[in-house]
Amino acid sequence: MPIYFTHETAKVDVEDVPLDEYAKIQDATGLQWWEVAGNPMRHAKASVLLAEACARLAGVALPDPITPKVIVSLFTVETAPNVAEVFTDGIPDPKAVDAPETT
């Protein structure tokens, strides 16, 4: 599931951020690039540094101040469309939106 930085008209896949930027984040936090890219909200400083790198890449300015609420709004996980999943016994998953109703 890709994770995107989204702000104003910008949308950047965090895996498109150059490794040089992740190296700076690693120097500041000790976290590897795959730890930050896989969970951008794991570490406060890493979140801010990644948001700044994404904003530079996209050419947008970040809100000031950057709060937890702002960070949560900046990074979104894009999932596949909600398709009904079927259990091994053939019963549709009732939590899926387009699963047929059972009686």
What does the block give as tokens for 23?
A: 């190296």
pTM above 0.95, yes or no: no
Domain total in the chain: 1
Distance CA 24, CA 32 (A): 10
Task: Give me the percent of the chain exceeding a pLDDT of 70.
Answer: 77
Residue 82 lies inside a defined structural domain of this protein: no
Structure confidence at residue 94 (pLDDT):
63
Place 78 in a pLDDT band, splitting at 50, 70 and 90.
Answer: confident
Residue 102 lies inside a defined structural domain of this protein: no
- Under the phi-then-psi rule, with left for phi > 0, alpha for psi from -120 to 50, and beta for the rest, what region is 71? alpha
Residue 100 lies inside a defined structural domain of this protein: no
pLDDT tens-digit profile of 28-57? 999 999 999 999 999 999 999 999 999 999
Domain limits for position 70: 3-77
